[in-house]
A and B are shown apart, each in its own frame.
Chain A
Amino acid sequence: MRSSVSYILSHAPGESVMSHPDYAQHAQHHACVLVLVKGIGGVLKNFNKLWERIQRVNNIKVTDSSGQVRDIWVRYVRDYPVENNDWGDFQTHRRLLGLITLSKFTNQIELNEVCRVHESLKVKYSNTLYDSRAFMFGPGSNLKKPQQEPETYNTYDDDKLKERTSLSDKISLPSDQADSLSSTESFPRSISSNASYSVQEDNFTTPSNFKTHALFYGENDAVPDLEQHVADLINSLFWVVESKRLERSREKLEKVSLLLAPFEKRDFVGLDMESRNNKKRCMGRVTKNLADLTLQAGLVAEALSLYHSSAEILKSVNDWLWLAAAKEGHCATSAILQYPNLRNPTPLQRNASLQESSPSKIKPLSLYQPNTDPFRKFKLHSSPLRSSKTSSPVNPPSELTPSSSDSVETSSRQSETDNADTESLASSSDIDYQSQKSYLSPDLPSIPRQPPSHINNQYLLGGEEIAEKYRKAIIHYSKYQNAGIIETEACFKAARIAVEQNNSLHASSFLQNVIFINLTLSEQEKIQRFDTLAELYKEIGFLRKAAFCQRLAATRQVSANNPNPDWQRCYYLMLHSFPGHKLSLDPNYVIQHQVGWPALQIQLLHELVVAARRMGHPALATRHMTFLLQTMWPHLSRQEHRDLAIQLQALSAQCEGGPVPLVLETGEVIPPANLTHVPSCTYFNPRQLAPARTPHLIKCKANQGPFIFTPIHFGSLERKNKKDEGKMEYLWVEDDICEVQMKLTNPLPFELKVSNMRLLTSGVVFESIPETIILPPDSPTTVNLHGTPKEVGELQILGYSTHTLGVKSNCRLKNMPMPHKFPASFLIQVIPSLPTITIETTLSLSGNINISNPEISGNITNISLYNGESTECTITITNTSNVPIEYLELSIQSNMDNQLQSKVFQWSNEDIQSQLPINAGDVATIVMKLYGEADFLDLGGVGENLFPNSLTSNYPSRVGSPIPNAQTSLPTHSSNPQNSLSSGFIMNRTSGSFRSSNSQTTSWSAPISIMPPSRGRQIETQIVIRYSGGAGREMHCRQTTLQMNLELLPSVSITHWDVLPAEIPSQLYLVLDITNLTNEEMDFHYTPSKHILIEGKESRRVPVPLDRCPFTITIPKNEDDSMEPKSISTGTSTNSLELMCSEHLTKNVDLRWHLLQSNITGRASVKGITLSQTMMDIVRMSPLNWEVSVNKQCIKPQEEYNCMAGECLSLGVAVWNHLSRPLHKLCLSVQFYQDYNNGVLNYKLDNRVATAGNNKVVLTTLLEAAKAYHECTVVFLTPGEYKIDIQCSTTEPIIDEIPAIKDVNQTIVQSCAGEVSHVWRFIPPVAISVTD
């Protein structure tokens, strides 16, 4: 909106160019009386309070001589350049009319000084100043007013009078309240306080040249009548203005002088004032001036028309400058009428002040009607009650002043006065609260409450018109370079009106224009200009522009040509331009919604960092740099990343950043910025505890389910079903090191040191162990963070904290750059702490100690044992935790089957339980017996080389083998070939096991074995130790496995065995071939008394005397299945029988061996030995008992009987049935034969022996325990050696089934069921030698 024409009268700026723009000016200030408020002398501590109170007195009502109420507005300024006064003619509201000084003094000298300053101020503004007040705050409180003759104003004396009166009670008022104060105050000066009084009384006197209305207070007085006095001042000022207005209006328009703007003076030199043009010019200008005064004097409506007419006149003479002024005035006036609430900009503030219940604040204001007699005033003044009454009728509804604002004023004053009363009655503030409400409500909306139509004034401008006129005015101004400041101010005023109209575009255009006005301004003024611009742009919502201006202002603050750069203000300006750049202080917000222009944001942040640093707040600098790096990461190039990182390091070197919000002096809070990009985390997951430490459920608790003891745990299970993200299914243990694994990548091109990494957790107390790592550039590194939960319950892992580039960051998972990657947090159940143990195993003899910490699950103990050897392994458990172990159980897993396992490993659970509980640091020992369980019966490879020895042995050929070649010596049961064969055959058939068949058809040449114990065996076992304790023992336990590798070495083996009848029928010999499989000499005990030495790898044959196996021993219920598989039903019985016998042997045979060299002892057993039928006959007691007698004398076994040839012998044979049942069809036979001892038996003795009585009888039945006797006589015809073979056989096939348990014999019979019958012989056969 610049004028197209270049500057009119553009000469160099005149000496009196107004050089101090007043950006704060509003349009309504045109109507205001300008008053300067200055603090002089010593600093008043409550100056600001007073200043506020004064400001609140910005409008008073005065009833003028014509009885009309005037609305007088005041504008208070703290500082006003004199130069601006020069424009007072141009726009009267620029005149400084009033002066108020607030001063402090402690003694006469200071007082004089203060007075001097006040006077000098008066002089300074002398040509505009009308009246002044000096509020002086002395040391004491009870001051007499020093003598001074009041200055005299021509126009009104009632004013003075009033002042006096007010003054008189003013002094009386504070006198009796602050004695104590005074006394203390006066201490230094005088000895006694009342003395000091007297001293004080006449102490202070203002200098004679001090001709100001001064008011004295004690420094701490609550200046109750401040408002009142200010009101006085305003009042007096009004009257001056009014008078000026009147005289101006009475002037003859013909002979008015030309008013000039400061810079115009020389332009009009030598122009004849008489020219018609100039007359008009003068007229116009005067009219305009009059309009100003009228406006100030509160006659708004008149002002309108005056402005209008003046504008008309001035336009006709092309007096652009003044025309502009007129237009502006016109606009301002219209605006004042249109938008009354422009005038009371801070209604709320004023109301707020009311709530403070200090009576002094709420004195009745401006109730003086100057033209009423003092007496009345006095009374009125003393009684607020009446004052309120009088104040109520104030302001009759005038169609000129928009009622809204007025009603506000009056009602507010009304309420104030009311308060004045109620306060005294100590009624609290609720009343005035209501009263405020009453007048607050209509006050709020900012649109003109009165449509222009209601104000019936044809000159009143509408909203659009105002803008339009203002634009014109500004254009006119713009023609004058020297009016630049006026123009600028006009722009701002116009903009403010536009804001009021909610017309952003107009406002912006006005503001835009400001930039083009090139003024020679000080840096400070330029900055102020930008500030104001920014603020106004904000108001119209042009945030970006506002931000732009703020940034300009900021840069100005510290620009090179700024004499005193102010980084602090620069910083704040920058900071406040954030919203304009769509930036938020909260990094997460910025990251989430990427709005705004990155390039600009980055720039701004850079500058912000610099500012922060330069203003000496390194913490902020670091914070903002972190913010920049964090939020702008995606928009930065790799190089920039690097540079910024380095800068950040440099900054944080001065003050390192932490994740705590910073609070500025202004109370703004800068939230922490966390670096989640440096280093960037690509993987984050809590780890399960190490196997040895992982808690296991104790399932064995059948009686109480898990529900009772760990509801939480159960809950967690449920939640898992609900697919709760981040809920871990495994458990952590209180006081136990836990681990979180994460993958970090260093995006920076240099090595990055990240120190003090911890876990961020919530929920239970968690003690995190800091980590420090060095990350190489661009290579993902795996990092494990550790910590120990200190409580039971739910642990929530929120993220991790880092300390890198000198910045501490809390990187929460939910704020991670890619949130989808991680759950917001990880939930982990922490269970009560469990004990931990270390285990060491000691072996008794081969004392290899093996300490094992349970961390490594597979700690291995190696043990080697000889078969049959037994040793002890002590497992020492040390409780390394401070939780007592209250539950401990051992279990074994191995590659053996359970029976073998239970034989090899033996321990007593009671012993273990008895040692519980194991307190912290205590030690428990578990003794475990290890036994080299093995099968000693073997026919493996050693058979052959054994054979020659057998020949050289004492019993050459009798080593139990029923084969014919054995029949040389004693006749055996098996001397009947087919029989033995048959029986052998039977066994073969019934039990299809090699060994058994082997044993009864024993031939040296046929040793076949499947599993020889001659080779060592490896047994791998894990001993699982489950233990628990503390609160959680009901539910969880830990388990440790220790590996035990057991090697079983061969010791001895029994390669062959047989049984021989002993001399006494109740006994037998078990003949064993023992092979020493070790390499050492072995001392082999086969009976308690007898022992034999066996060389390494040698084998010996030992006879073991045994009792025969009695009949009725119940076979232990089904023994281990290592027996031969049963083929057929008959097999079972045989097995059971055989079993019985082998059991018998196993029980009674006690073999021990002792390795002499390596003093190892062990034992062996014939367990699982198998016997052939014939063997069993020997092993077992015979079912029939024989009693054989010759010639009535019974013969002993082994005894030789002699007789003569031809002699008649009677041979009696008696048979007892020992069985529990009768035998049938027994055939008892007696046979004679000769044994040639060469294996030939001669039965053909017909010509040598004659028998009387049959030698074969059949007993149909032989009842149990019955005895059968048969007798026959025999005569030997030729001498020689004879033998009698007495045998008894059953022929009947057995049908009826009899339980084998009792009846052994029967089983035999049964066993040889079928045609083949069973045979019992009398062994040894009776031998008779016949002589001649």
Chain B
Amino acid sequence: MAVCVAVIGKDNSPLYIGGIGNDTSTDNELSRQWLVHTALDALEERLATTNSNNATASANAARTDLRDLYLGLLYSTDTHKIYGYVTNTKIKLVLVTSSTSPSGSNIRDAEVRTALRRLHALYADAICNPFHLPGDQIISQKFDRQVKSLMVNNV
């Protein structure tokens, strides 16, 4: 199951970080932020290589899935797996699953992909909220609820 979902803006500023789970010492708001934050490096590196690979001839078979918005597993710790997804508008969606819990440990890539696509859809709706300014934090409770349910049910 997804432990945490984060929406990160073009400038790598956190737009939304939603987590579920009992706030124990190991998994609480802050630790989730650490997880997501450290994922950004890998995320950016992936993007960079994506572009560079397109340019250089050294682009190998990975070319096709490099164009995919879903970047797959960014990195994993002994407790969590962090998946990344970058929209065409350079909005970064990060999903963290806990590899300790049974449901999270043997999660399939496809599931994460779909979950992130859904999240993308939610985000696209959320920014159409007239009260949301692009680049601001997402404070819409509707969005929050939707994301939470997504985390619980779909992954």
Question: What is A's interface to B at a CB cutoff of 8 Å?
Answer: 504-505, 508, 512, 515-516, 518, 537, 540-545, 547-548, 551, 595-597, 599-600, 603
Contacts and interface: CB of A to CB of B under 8 A. Distances in A.
A600 B33 contact: yes
A505 B78 contact: no
Residue in B14, B37, B46 whose Cβ sees the most chain A Cβ within 10 Å = B37
B41 A599 contact: no
Given A505-B45, A600-B33, A515 B38 contact: no
B42 A508 contact: yes
Contact of B34 (A504, A505, A512, A548): A548
Interface residues of B, number: 20
A599 B13 contact: no
B29 interface: yes
B76 interface: yes
B13 A544 contact: no
A505 B30 contact: no
Given A544-B37, A544-B38, A600-B37, A515 B45 contact: no
B38 A595 contact: no
B42 A542 contact: yes
Given A515-B78, A599-B29, 18 more contacts: A504-B49, A505-B42, A505-B45, A505-B49, A508-B42, A516-B78, A541-B41, A541-B45, A542-B41, A544-B40, A545-B41, A548-B34, A548-B38, A595-B13, A599-B14, A599-B30, A600-B33, A603-B30
Contacts of A544: 37-38, 40-41
A537 B45 CA distance: 12
Nearest to B48: A504
Nearest to B12: A595
Interface of A is mostly: helix
B77 interface: yes
Contact of B45 (A508, A516, A518): A508
B123 interface: no
Contacts of B11: 595
Contact of B33 (A518, A545, A595, A597): A597
B14 A597 contact: yes
B143 interface: no
8 contacts: A504-B45, A508-B75, A537-B41, A545-B41, A545-B42, A596-B13, A597-B14, A600-B33
Contacts of B34: 548, 551, 600
Interface in B12-42: 12-14, 29-30, 33-34, 37-38, 40-42
A600 B30 contact: yes
Interface in B53-104: 75-78
A504 B75 CA distance: 13
A508 B75 CA distance: 9
Nearest to B11: A595
B37 A597 contact: yes
Contacts of A508: 41-42, 45, 75
A1121 B33 CA distance: 96
A798 B110 CA distance: 61
A146 B12 CA distance: 70
A1290 B110 CA distance: 144
Nearest to B8: A597
A1141 to B, nearest CB: 96
Contacts of A548: 34, 37-38
A518 B78 CA distance: 10
A516 B75 CA distance: 11
Contacts of B41: 508, 537, 541-545
Contact of A512 (B14, B45, B76): B76
B50 to A, nearest CB: 11
A600 B46 CA distance: 23
Contacts of A597: 13-14, 33, 37
Given A516-B78, A548-B38, A599 B33 contact: yes
A547 B13 CA distance: 17
A72 B14 CA distance: 53
B136 to A, nearest CB: 13
A551 B35 CA distance: 13
A512 B75 contact: yes
B22 to A, nearest CB: 19
A548 B35 CA distance: 9
Nearest to B60: A464
B78 A545 contact: no
A597 B33 CA distance: 8
B26 to A, nearest CB: 13
Most chain B CB within a 10 A radius of its CB, from A508, A518, A537, A595: A508
Contacts of A542: 41-42, 45
Contacts of B14: 597, 599
Contact of B77 (A504, A515, A600): A515
Contacts of B29: 599
Contacts of A596: 13
A545 B30 contact: no
Report the 6 A-B pairs with minimum CB-CB distance, sorted nearest first: A542-B41, A548-B38, A544-B41, A545-B41, A545-B38, A504-B45
A1226 B19 CA distance: 135
A547 B41 CA distance: 11
Nearest to B40: A544
A596 B34 CA distance: 12
B17 to A, nearest CB: 8
A515 B99 CA distance: 14
Contacts of B40: 544
Point out which of A516, A537, A548 has the most chain B C-beta atoms below 10 A from its C-beta.
Answer: A548
A600 B76 CA distance: 20
A600 B36 CA distance: 11
Contacts of A545: 38, 41-42
B59 to A, nearest CB: 13
Give the one of B46, B75, B77, B78 with max A CB within 10 A. B75
Nearest to A581: B37
A518 B34 CA distance: 22
Contacts of B30: 599-600, 603
A188 B33 CA distance: 68
Contacts of A537: 41
Contacts of A540: 45
A596 B77 CA distance: 22
Nearest to B36: A597
Contacts of B76: 512
A603 B28 CA distance: 13
A599 B38 CA distance: 14
Contacts of A505: 42, 45-46, 49
Contacts of A547: 38
A597 B29 CA distance: 13
Nearest to A594: B13
B48 to A, nearest CB: 8
A600 B14 CA distance: 11
A551 B30 CA distance: 13
Contacts of B13: 595-597
A1119 to B, nearest CB: 85
Task: Determine which residue in A505, A537, A597 has the highest number of CB atoms from chain B within 10 A of its CB, and name it.
Answer: A597
A579 to B, nearest CB: 12
A487 to B, nearest CB: 15
A540 B46 CA distance: 13
A508 B82 CA distance: 14
Nearest to B76: A512
A597 B12 CA distance: 9
Which of B11, B13, B38 neighbours the largest number of chain A CB atoms within 10 Å of its CB? B38
A1324 B89 CA distance: 129
A915 B60 CA distance: 103
Contacts of A600: 30, 33-34, 37
A595 B10 CA distance: 12
A508 B46 CA distance: 11
A827 B45 CA distance: 50
A647 to B, nearest CB: 18
A398 B75 CA distance: 44
Contacts of A516: 78
A551 B78 CA distance: 17
Nearest to A508: B42
